[in-house]
Amino acid sequence: MLKLFVNMMKEEWRVHSTMFGSLSFALFPVMIFGIAFMGSFLLPLFRTVVPPGYLSIIIHAIFLLLGIMVGGFGLLGMEVMNRRFGQASLLSYSARSLPISEQEIFCTFVVKDTVYYLVLWVVPFVAGFAIASPFISVPLSLSLLLFLTLTLSFLTGLALIFFLSTVYARSKRVFAALFVTLLTGWAALYLVAGINTVALFPPLQLFHAFSYDMLLAACAVVIIPSAIAVALFTSEYTDTTKRFKNAIVPLTKKLSFFPYPPLAAKDLIDLLRSGSFIGQTLFSFLIPLWLLWFLLSVLGRFIPPGDVLLLFAILTGVIASTMYTWLTMFDTFSSYTCLPVGVPALLESKICSFAVLQAIPAAFIVLVTIASGGVAYLVPAFVLCLSVSFYALAVTIWLTGLSPSVLVYDVKVLFLYLILVGIAVLALIALAFVNPYYATGSVLLFLPAWLLVKAGFTKWEIQDQPMF
């Protein structure tokens, strides 16, 4: 099992590093380190605005969110990834032929993923903070504790998603029941009993007051769901004899208003049949946003609720833009190369499908706005959310073409993405805080977005597609 683990690790490294050179890939944690290091110097500044307790809540929530996102992208896409990175080459796939149980393979896969992302994200972040801590007069022991609690936050997020997604794969009904129970449980505690549920989060409690009992509790929150997930895991290849009615022709007819109806029809079929449509909406959209809302509602104590709503709309836009990866994860360009379809046509078609998917964030933001009693902010929130989403999509297309979820680990790409999206987001936050209706000016983002997309078309037409 250890051998399998080591091999999987090597495999992952090889897949990623051959794609953009080992140096560029090795620089990824270095960049996270740099961001954390420099960010730490802003800490004293934050402290003057944000009450002390909130900062730790925010950081822990971010790592919980990170765990959830990584889990959502990683595990739901596991089968897809196996395919994409080549049936022949990926060890976790060929491991099926080894004399090891599926549970063991899955378990190793989970551990590998965890270690991998821990090294890639959590370690460099905490290291950056730790190195900066003497300069901002934070004791080093606090950094060590932070390392422990952030890792636990991250793992809690991962474990939660692994747990929920294996339940989901086993039985949609049980999953729904579980989901509703969790949600009502939380609502009962928070809304009815008025208990501050955030403070109950074990890693956070551990951070505020270290005790071995709490450490045990925090570990249990990670280990128990993971163990159940491993126990519940079954092969996804059970329905091999399933037959499907022809859907492509009727769908192509229905979607005739699209620029490339058959391509759009295929996107839709992929989403529905792979189960990603509901799965991704839940795991990479609703759950992260629910958490984000939670996070922002903490901020609500010192910025006006309207501003919180607009901030939320902007962040929803950023998360909504990642729906593009839902459309690109099923096949690389290589499955189109035997057909007379160029990269620009494919990108254009994906953008249209993306536009349709934006009905989800659009409806979501309208509901949230109304539910939170901010009807006055409906128009700005709506406009902000969608403009940010389309702008971030344009940046993604320009930077990564048809391979967003892979190229994001290229340092140059991620760096540019953070700059380009970051500037726009900060500018919009500033504008929105001055006057909500200024924020509707975000429609102007469609101009740079359009230019970026045009540039992306040319760029990815000339460039060879990375083949996996």
Residues in 212-251 at the binding interface with another protein, rule: CB under 8 A = 237, 240-249
Query: What minimum distance in Å lies between the beta carbon of 95 and another protein?
Result: 18
Q: Is 300 in the site for another protein (CB under 8 A)?
A: no
Please tell me the distance from the alpha carbon of residue 7 to that of residue 130, in angstroms, as a whole number.
31
Q: Does 338 bind another protein (CB under 8 A)?
A: yes
Q: How would you classify residue 410: left for phi > 0, otherwise alpha for psi between -120 and 50, otherwise beta? A: beta
Q: If you compute the radius of gyration of the chain from its CA atoms, what whole number of angstroms results?
A: 22
339 binds another protein (CB under 8 A): yes
Which of 15, 266, 392, 396 touches another protein by CB under 8 A? Answer: 266
Measured CA to CA, the distance from residue 253 to residue 267 in angstroms comes to 14
Report helix, strand or coil for 466. coil
Beta carbon nearer to another protein, 84 or 112: 84
Question: Taking the complex as a whole, how short is the minimal distance between the CB of residue 341 and another protein, in angstroms?
Answer: 6
* For another protein, the closer CB: 4 or 343: 343
Angstrom CA distances, 285 to 62, 69, 108, 385, stand at: 15, 9, 27, 14
Q: Which stretch binds another protein (CB under 8 A): 90-98, 121-129, 270-278, 397-405?
A: 270-278
Burial of 329 (0-12, 13-18, 19+ CB in 10 A): buried
Q: Which stretch binds another protein (CB under 8 A): 9-17, 210-218, 264-272, 318-326?
A: 264-272
The answer to the question of residue 334 lying near another protein (CB under 8 A) is yes
Residue 200 CB neighbours (<10 A): 12
- Kindly state the smallest distance separating residue 399's Cβ from another protein, in Å: 20
Count of residues engaged in binding another protein, rule: CB under 8 A: 36
- Interface stretch with another protein, choices 124-132, 208-216, 263-271, 403-411 (CB under 8 A): 263-271
Helix axis angle, 446-462 to 343-357, nearest 10°: 140
**Only segment of 112-120, 261-269, 381-389, 400-408 that touches another protein (CB under 8 A):** 261-269
- Token couple for 287: 């759950």
> Residues 6 or more apart from 417 whose CB is under 8 A from it?
395, 396, 399, 408
- C-alpha 144/C-alpha 150 separation (Å) is 10
As given in the structure block, the two tokens for residue 190 are 């928070």
Give 196 or 238: the residue with its C-beta nearer to another protein. 238
- Does 448 participate in binding another protein (rule CB under 8 A)? no
Structure tokens of 98? 């080894």
Applying CB under 8 A, among 17, 56, 252, 281 the residue interacting with another protein is 252
According to DSSP, residue 465 is labeled P
Residue 173 or 242: which CB sits closer to another protein? 242
Out of 31, 198, 219, 269, which residue is the one contacting another protein (CB under 8 A)?
269
Q: How far apart are CA 351 and CA 54, in angstroms?
A: 38
- Name the DSSP class of 257: T
458 binds another protein (CB under 8 A): no
Q: In the structure encoding, which two tokens stand for residue 266, read together?
A: 């295929």
The residue among 3 and 243 lying less far from another protein, judged by its C-beta, is: 243
Question: Which distant-in-sequence residues (6+ apart) come within 8 Å of 37 by Cβ?
Answer: 128, 129, 131, 132
Nearest approach, Cβ of 338 to another protein (angstroms)?
Answer: 4
Q: Does 410 bind another protein (CB under 8 A)?
A: no
Indicate the residue type of 365.
Answer: I
Among 34, 262, 441, 466, contact with another protein (rule: CB under 8 A):
262
CB 388 within 8 A of CB 428: yes
- Any contact of residue 10 with another protein (CB under 8 A)? no
From the list 163-171, 330-338, 402-410, 436-444, the region that binds another protein by CB under 8 A is 330-338
Site for another protein in 76-95 (CB under 8 A): 83, 86
Binding site for another protein (CB under 8 A): 83, 86, 237, 240-249, 252, 261-263, 265-266, 269-270, 273-274, 330-331, 334-335, 337-342, 345, 462, 464
